[in-house]
Amino acid sequence: MFHREGWIERNIELLPFPACIADGGGALLAVNRALEDMIQRSLRQAADSEEGLETAVKPDLFAKMVRYERATPDGERIFLYIAEDRANWDIWLWHLMQPFVGEMATGLILVNSDLHIRAVNRTAVGMLGLEPEQAIGRAIHEAIPELGVVLRPVAHKLTTENLRNMLFDVEIDGQIKHCLLDTRVVDGYGGSDDRKILLFLTDIGERFDSQIQRQEKLATVGKIAAGIAHEIRNPLTSIRGFLQIMRQNFIRLRMEKEFQYTEVMLAEIDRVNELVGELLLLSKPRDMKLEPVEVEELITGLAPLISSETILHDIEFHLCIKPVPKVLADSEMLKQVVVNLVKNAVEAMEHGGTLTICTRVVQDEDLVQIDVQDTGPGIPNYVMDRIFDAFFTTKENGTGLGLPICQRIISDLGGTIRVSSKGYGTTFTVLLPAYREK
């Protein structure tokens, strides 16, 4: 029914109040040291022998204990007993945390709206080098200064919206650890007036370094582009104007060979202008007009354009659109991302294939997912880590800017873009936070 190896018994010591657990028959199953200290008696032996709770704990204390019930996976019942009335508001925490956070690979910290720590799981303890007894009850900027620095600028948002992909570093035993932070708002025991925040911590290690290097490279390229864009475009505009005049003269004088030269030069000038435009997007995308966007409507609106392109390349096109929440985005930029991913997929299937666009909801994380799948040859493992690098391309006429631009746009929208390819076919996945109207 309920084993000593279970999460509750291993983590009951992390609860910031005297507590114990009993089964439906009243047998004592687990106890934390705070309760033992309170009654000045060891209850471990009583728990091992499944002694009755009422005989293990003094009657007057037992009468004051608050009981909270939950069902076990096999249909039995267990009870959490709390020995102090002041802990009533924490009952909801037990119900929320105990089924799923015990041995999560993700660190979890619960804080009040005033950013005081109420509970931590074992992963967070190991990840941040915490002493639970010293951390619980303290302000987070005191217990974990590095995390406090990250949360302070967004403290006004923490109780009203969920934040994602916040990066921070923490030094443990002389080593720098890179972590990713997500937050989730949870109503407390008293409802929405007693809101708490769950902090989800992921150790991302060396992946952070490569991401930073990529972002720094994109930023450098963008700054250069922003600085010289006008210097490049102004002379190109003059050259293009004179070439157009020359082309008209060549037509009038029937100089066909020279006319063909001007056509080639004009095409190349247009290509340079397009490249400069793409570089500028890496610096800072144009001011985004954020609004709730219907993903289904956006993709079905692009379907005729995509369909005509796939027909030209002997590619089957399938839509697998499921109802999803709106996302807060710039619709034109999101269209650009989808079109770029479709363009890559079409170019990957030189001899035909199948292009599929799917949408779905990632319920656990409240995300909207857009998948663009192809049945091409796939992406070799040795280039997988470089496909989002600026100027890296395997195409003869590619600029190597399409995917970095997509990544930049999605990142600015608060989402992520991922790729999977296992030797046959490639799937690009765009994940965006679902927009919930208040």
Domain ranges of the chain: 1-90, 100-203, 208-283, 291-433
Long-range contacts of 410-419, Cβ-Cβ distance < 8 Å, separation of 24 or more: 410/337, 412/285, 412/288, 413/288, 413/327, 413/328, 413/329, 413/330, 413/333, 413/334, 414/164, 414/165, 414/328, 415/327, 415/367, 416/165, 417/337, 419/379, 419/384, 419/387
Q: What is the pLDDT of residue 36?
A: 79
Query: What's the Rg (C-alpha) of the chain?
Result: 30
Largest CA distance in the chain: 112
* CA neighbor of 343 nearest in space, from 411, 234, 416, 428: 428
Q: What is the assigned CATH class of domain 291-433? A: alpha beta
pTM value > 0.85:
no
Residue 413 backbone phi and psi in degrees, to 5: -90, 5
Q: What is the pLDDT of residue 10?
A: 55
Displacement of CA 290 from its chain's centroid (Å): 19
Q: CA–CA separation, 267 vs 261, rounded Å?
A: 10
Work out the percent of the chain whose per-residue pLDDT is above 70: 71
Q: How many alpha carbons fall within 13 Å on the CB side of residue 332?
A: 5
Q: Do 1-90 and 100-203 have matching folds? A: yes
Q: What is the pLDDT of residue 89?
A: 45
Q: What is the pLDDT of residue 428?
A: 92
* CA neighbor of 202 nearest in space, from 295, 277, 255, 124: 124
Q: What is the pLDDT of residues 251-291, one digit of tens each?
A: 888 888 888 888 888 888 887 777 676 666 655 555 678 88
Domain covering 1-90 in this structure, CATH number: 3.30.450.20
Q: Which residue stretches of the chain have pLDDT < 50?
A: 1-5, 7, 86-89, 91, 189, 206-208
Q: What is the pLDDT of residue 188?
A: 56
Residue 284 backbone phi and psi in degrees, to 5: -165, 115
Q: Could you identify the residue written with the tokens 């997007």?
A: 281
Domain range 100-203, its CATH number among 3.30.300.130, 3.30.1280.10, 3.30.450.20, 3.40.50.2000: 3.30.450.20
Q: What is the pLDDT of residue 394?
A: 63
Q: CA–CA separation, 163 vs 205, rounded Å?
A: 21
- CB within 8 Å of 98: residues ≥ 6 apart: 7, 8, 11, 70
What does the DSSP assignment read for 245-289? HHHHHHHHTT-HHHHHHHHHHHHHHHHHHHHHHHHHHHH-PSPP-
Q: What is the pLDDT of residues 13-36, one digit of tens each?
A: 666 567 788 887 778 877 887 777
